Chains A and B, each alone.
Chain A
Amino acid sequence: MAEKVGCFVCTGCKIGDAVDIEQVLSVANESGAVVAKSHEALCSKEGLDLIKSEIESNELGGVIIAACSQRDHVDTFRLPNVFVHRANMREQMAWTQPPQEEDTQMLAEDIIRMGFGKLQFTDIPQPEDVEVHNRILVVGGGVTGMSAALNAADAGKEVVIVEKEGELGGFANKLHKIFPKDLDLAAYPEPDVDALKEKVSGNDKITVEFNTTVASIAGAPAKFQVELKNGSGQKTINADSVVVAAGWKPYDATKLSHLGYGKPNVVTNVEFEQMAKDGKIARPSDGKEPESVLFVQCAGSRDDDHLPYCSNICCGATLKQITYLKDLNPEIAAYVVYKDIRAPGHYEEVYRQVQKQNAVMIKGEIEAVEEGDDGKLNVQATDVLMNEPVFVETDMVVLATGMVPTTLEEDVLNLAYRQGPELPEREYGFPNSHFVCFPYETQRTAIYAAGAVRMPMDLATCIDDAAGAAAKAVQSINLIEQGLAIHPRVGDASLPDFNLSRCTQCKRCTEECPFGALNEDEKGTPQPNPTRCRRCGVCMGACPERIVEFPDYNIQMISQQIKNMFVPDEFEEKPRVVCMVCENDAMAAIDMAAKNGLKLNPFVRIIPLRCLGSFNIIWVADALSNGIDGVLLLGCKSGDDYQCHFIKGSELCETRMGNVQDTLDRLMLESERLRLEHVAITDYKKIPEIFDSFLERLEELGPNPYKD
């Protein structure tokens, strides 16, 4: 902890008008400030000069900057070699409370007291340099893998591509054409796979291991030991970060017998592509050129019994394949039975071209595909636009099947992680850990997914995607080297410390870490891997023995803030609530509420948490024994469409709360004194109501019986 603490109160942004500043400064002095001063604009050059000169003359180790939210002026108040606490007097007080009221004054003073509590138990983290190899492992040598490798090599990193086949190219090798060649797509140049292959082969920073798979990956980012396996044996390489570009597999058409698969003249779009590539588009039953072909879109896609999602490329593939037919013989009739044609970007041009070639588009659903006379197929469908059944006799049916990530069917990484060998599967089985906000991120630090293994996409998109993932892989090495966190707390130097002598091997931390950062020894003792850690504090929240702490974020630091709050005896007029908020979303929502002029309940004291997943139930005991009437937790949306930066923070918190609520009930203490709400940034308008309704409920329950 800092021995000498200074407190600087800004009086700008209406803070000075809201409260008696002298009184606030005297609270700071009572709390042990070596120096306590106010200034009309701490963020100005004069304000900063004041802080800096006081730091120097008083040899301060910590400063409390009582001004705006910690989300504002982040760089302005980044001061070297002192611990900085941002006490939020603006959003949490001046902008959300009536000025010159007794309750407003009490809130402001508590904000200062809590800051001093925090500084009693915090230190500046000291990052340690990590030795790196500047080498990236790319799993998969398809278009995505090759593109990622070239990007990473351009950034100066060494790359090892592991390719299970004997040549580069992946699925692109199976394509007859990428786009119809005769289409004027000057604005959308077609990916040149051969050129990519040549560039990769000619790049001396890139090594390709052919006919090879990853037998295992041990260690942690910057310390990965990768066992490679091929026909002639095994070898080990070191790598710092990984790009998973394992591609996709077509959905298993044997599950599509209701669409006729299994009958000789029913093929998948992948099989049809092969026919075109072989130069022999023909009915499998007799090898005759078809007179008509019917394409079934969404074959096993957007279907709750199969793949519930859209694979993005099948419409484009069918449209392209119709051009194969029309090139072969314009007289071949092409039918398409579809739910919706999804032809974004340049696929719209393909769509138009195919329509000009008189493809018959039928919006509807397949009812039956049966074998007819002379090798023909009898297809019955419902035509949505006519609301009538239609019957088509055709030579062939092509099922446009969707894309499944390879990782769903095969182990490609074989990680030696306590939580399992592969990337955790999120929605639809894809390994994205935060689809909307953080593409490429997975639940394993410094391992990034790119291309069709991440989400269904076409080749052109794969190339862009690879660039993104490669940038992430490069960035991760540079940050790890400095001992800093990568994502989402980019640049955070703190690391958790485990006081293992008190560990009871309960395994809660090793199970709950969303990123598999902790391994276990045989007894179940956690074995931290610092470079896998994202610094969320879930382990700290999980630990019943409270043996996990960060230098700048720990149990005692929060406990002391709670204890430092002044709790008046008179509940009727002055109830008290501790509100712990996720600093990623909920705190931003509170700031937004303030910026939008909303007023907040004056009895709530806010403490930001790195993630609700770091919430430790001891804090409930601290709060209740301190006479606080209720504990409110604001976290992110959980479930399949979670918004948590750390995957399942509020979910974990909820489980822990459930446990503590049972205990409260047993102690005849109302469990409703604990409440958790999900708040997205956009929910800022709900914040006043969330506070007020909790206070109303507490009023009904009456004062905390432990109040002095």
Chain B
Amino acid sequence: MSEEPKVPIPELGGAVVETGGETLYQCMQCGLCTASCPWRLVEGDISRDFNTRKVQHMAMLGVEGYETEDILFACTTCGVCVERCPRECNPIDNMRVLRAMIGESGSVPQAYRPVIGSLNSNGNPWQGEAKDRTAWTKDMDVPSFGEDTEYLLFVCCTSCYDSRSKKIARAVASLLNKAGVSWGIIGEEEQCCGEAVRKVGSEETFMTLAEHNIKIFGEKGVKKIITTSPHCLYSFRNEYPELGGEFEVLHYTQLMDKLIEEGKLKPTKDFAKKVIFHDPCYLGRHNEVYEAPRNVIDSLPKAERVEMDRFGPDSICCGGGGGRIWMETPPGARFGDLRVSDAVAKKADVLATACPYCTIMIDASNMAMGKEEMEVLDIAEMLDQVT
């Protein structure tokens, strides 16, 4: 215990409430959030130091001591605590506001500086030039979104620029073509949805990106959006409407599920493997899409689907949300390892997921753990193989 007592400044707690941390004072300090947090399942300094309840409590008191990278920026915004809190608190919102306050004071973690810089200059977090946004479409028949197009396919920046992730975009596009859907992309003019950078605390960058996208979408006459990433889905569904962007938004798994049911997509070739599905936080807990991806897997001929011990609303984060995709997480503290272990325990041949972040994080763990006999695939890739 330190010698110098901390002096509460309730005005600071009040400021968090006023800027979006509405549930800060609702906490009854039970600690279920801390106990449920995936950081408890790994080892290391962050696991030791990051305590959700304590951060909320200190923020409420308006005292200092939680602002470091390893504490305030540890949260992956996976939402297990939100799901389980008996008082309907939202530690994610509170954490986001606290990060924003730190950001305003200029102490943004080093790892986020290039990300925010790239978002501001290129409209994506991956240092890619705007003109390369459509590079993933190389040698593919990809229509541009026009007046008569029904769906806008909004490809996550990660799948636009990351070489592994590009395959997901290509698989989704291929499937849309096979099903004869009326779809198109906007391409260079669109920018990152802004979901993750907002969680990092850069409210201003988010606003710029969102307002830009809403304007472009409006100009092009976009009504319906298909996203490849659950994070874009979240942002368009839950954050854009407040800024005037009202769209009908679907994750691609939801559309594929519908197309298969209608017989417009016909998986015919065998996929004779044991498949285990990892629920991405932003598809499951944040958007409550649990059935569609499972239905798609079940449609693969001869595929055997099994569940991890922790699935659905109890699924564990891949470790890539809340801006952690851009942070270095030390070995032994990577949540992706937990997912790989869970899948290996069930002797799965394929760990399937439906989020670009999850694919990257879990694939990295899979390789680091030397479990390459198990593949990490996006559901779109699997479906495209057999359709």
A interface list, Cβ under 8 A from B: 333, 335, 341, 351-352, 355-356, 358-363, 380, 382-383, 385-393
Q: Is the CB of A390 within 8 A of B7?
A: yes
| Docked pose: A206 CA to B27 CA in angstroms | 49
Closest Cβ of chain A to B62, distance in Å, is 9
Q: Is the CB of B8 within 8 A of A380?
A: no
Known: A358-B17, A385-B53, A389-B4. 7 other contacts (CB 8 A): A351-B28, A355-B27, A361-B27, A386-B54, A388-B6, A390-B5, A390-B6
Within 4-58 of B, Cβ neighbours of A (below 8 Å) are at 4-8, 10, 13-14, 17, 25-29, 53-54, 57-58
Known A355-B25, A385-B29, A385-B53: A360·B6 in contact at CB below 8 Å: no
Task: Kindly list chain A residues whose C-beta atoms are within 8 Å of the C-beta of B13.
Answer: 358, 360
Q: Is the CB of A363 within 8 A of B61?
A: no
Task: Kindly list chain A residues whose C-beta atoms are within 8 Å of the C-beta of B8.
Answer: 335, 360, 362, 390, 392
The residue on A at minimum CB distance from B61 is: A360
Closest Cβ of chain B to A692, distance in Å, is 45
| Docked pose: A391 CA to B7 CA in angstroms | 5
The residue on B at minimum CB distance from A385 is: B57
Known A386-B57, A389-B5, A390-B61: A359·B28 in contact at CB below 8 Å: no
7 contacts between A and B (CB under 8 A): A358-B10, A358-B17, A361-B29, A361-B60, A380-B5, A383-B61, A390-B6
Q: Is the CB of B1 within 8 A of A389?
A: yes
Q: Is the CB of B25 within 8 A of A359?
A: yes
Q: Which 7 A-B pairs have the closest CB atoms?
A: A391-B5, A389-B5, A355-B25, A385-B57, A390-B6, A333-B10, A391-B7
Q: Does B2 contact A (CB under 8 A)?
A: yes
Choose one: A355, A385, A392; the contact of B7 (CB below 8 Å): A392
Closest Cβ of chain A to B50, distance in Å, is 14
The residue on A at minimum CB distance from B2 is: A388
Task: Kindly list chain B residues whose C-beta atoms are within 8 Å of the C-beta of A385.
Answer: 29, 53-54, 57
Closest Cβ of chain B to A227, distance in Å, is 52
Q: Indicate with 1 or 0, residue by residue over B62-94, a CB within 8 angstroms of chain A CB atoms.
A: 010100000000000000000000010000000
| Docked pose: A356 CA to B60 CA in angstroms | 12
Closest Cβ of chain B to A602, distance in Å, is 52
| Docked pose: A388 CA to B28 CA in angstroms | 19
| Docked pose: A71 CA to B65 CA in angstroms | 66
Known A333-B10, A360-B10, A392-B7: A387·B1 in contact at CB below 8 Å: yes
Task: Kindly list chain A residues whose C-beta atoms are within 8 Å of the C-beta of B6.
Answer: 383, 386, 388-391
Choose one: A335, A363, A389, A391; the contact of B29 (CB below 8 Å): A363
The residue on A at minimum CB distance from B57 is: A385
Choose one: B26, B28, B57; the contact of A356 (CB below 8 Å): B26
Closest Cβ of chain B to A213, distance in Å, is 44
Choose one: A361, A363, A386, A393; the contact of B58 (CB below 8 Å): A386
Task: Kindly list chain A residues whose C-beta atoms are within 8 Å of the C-beta of B1.
Answer: 382, 387-389
Task: Kindly list chain B residues whose C-beta atoms are within 8 Å of the C-beta of A335.
Answer: 8, 10
Task: Kindly list chain B residues whose C-beta atoms are within 8 Å of the C-beta of A387.
Answer: 1
Task: Kindly list chain B residues whose C-beta atoms are within 8 Å of the C-beta of A386.
Answer: 6, 54, 57-58, 63, 65
Closest Cβ of chain A to B93, distance in Å, is 15
Closest Cβ of chain A to B56, distance in Å, is 9
Closest Cβ of chain A to B67, distance in Å, is 14
Within 182-217 of B, Cβ neighbours of A (below 8 Å) are at none
The residue on B at minimum CB distance from A391 is: B5
| Docked pose: A363 CA to B57 CA in angstroms | 10
Choose one: A351, A355, A360, A388; the contact of B5 (CB below 8 Å): A388
Closest Cβ of chain B to A525, distance in Å, is 63
Q: Is the CB of A356 within 8 A of B25?
A: yes
Closest Cβ of chain B to A384, distance in Å, is 9
Most buried by A among B26, B29, B53, B87: B29
Most buried by A among B4, B7, B14, B25: B25
| Docked pose: A152 CA to B83 CA in angstroms | 50
Known A380-B5, A390-B61: A355·B53 in contact at CB below 8 Å: no
The residue on B at minimum CB distance from A360 is: B10
| Docked pose: A361 CA to B60 CA in angstroms | 9
Closest Cβ of chain B to A336, distance in Å, is 11
The residue on B at minimum CB distance from A356 is: B25
Task: Kindly list chain A residues whose C-beta atoms are within 8 Å of the C-beta of B10.
Answer: 333, 335, 358, 360
| Docked pose: A441 CA to B40 CA in angstroms | 50
The residue on B at minimum CB distance from A338 is: B29
Task: Kindly list chain A residues whose C-beta atoms are within 8 Å of the C-beta of B4.
Answer: 389
Choose one: A341, A358, A380, A390; the contact of B14 (CB below 8 Å): A358
Q: Is the CB of A355 within 8 A of B14?
A: no
| Docked pose: A195 CA to B160 CA in angstroms | 73
The residue on A at minimum CB distance from B62 is: A360
Most buried by B among A360, A361, A393: A360
Closest Cβ of chain B to A377, distance in Å, is 14
The residue on B at minimum CB distance from A355 is: B25
Closest Cβ of chain A to B71, distance in Å, is 12
Task: Kindly list chain B residues whose C-beta atoms are within 8 Å of the C-beta of A380.
Answer: 5
Q: Is the CB of B60 within 8 A of A360?
A: yes
Choose one: A355, A356, A362, A393; the contact of B61 (CB below 8 Å): A362
Most buried by B among A382, A385, A389: A385
Closest Cβ of chain B to A93, distance in Å, is 52
| Docked pose: A362 CA to B6 CA in angstroms | 12
Most buried by A among B4, B8, B27: B8
| Docked pose: A335 CA to B1 CA in angstroms | 22
Closest Cβ of chain B to A556, distance in Å, is 63
Closest Cβ of chain B to A293, distance in Å, is 12
Closest Cβ of chain B to A371, distance in Å, is 17
Closest Cβ of chain B to A76, distance in Å, is 50
Known A385-B53, A386-B57: A358·B25 in contact at CB below 8 Å: yes
Closest Cβ of chain A to B88, distance in Å, is 10
The residue on A at minimum CB distance from B17 is: A358
Task: Kindly list chain B residues whose C-beta atoms are within 8 Å of the C-beta of A390.
Answer: 5-8, 61, 63
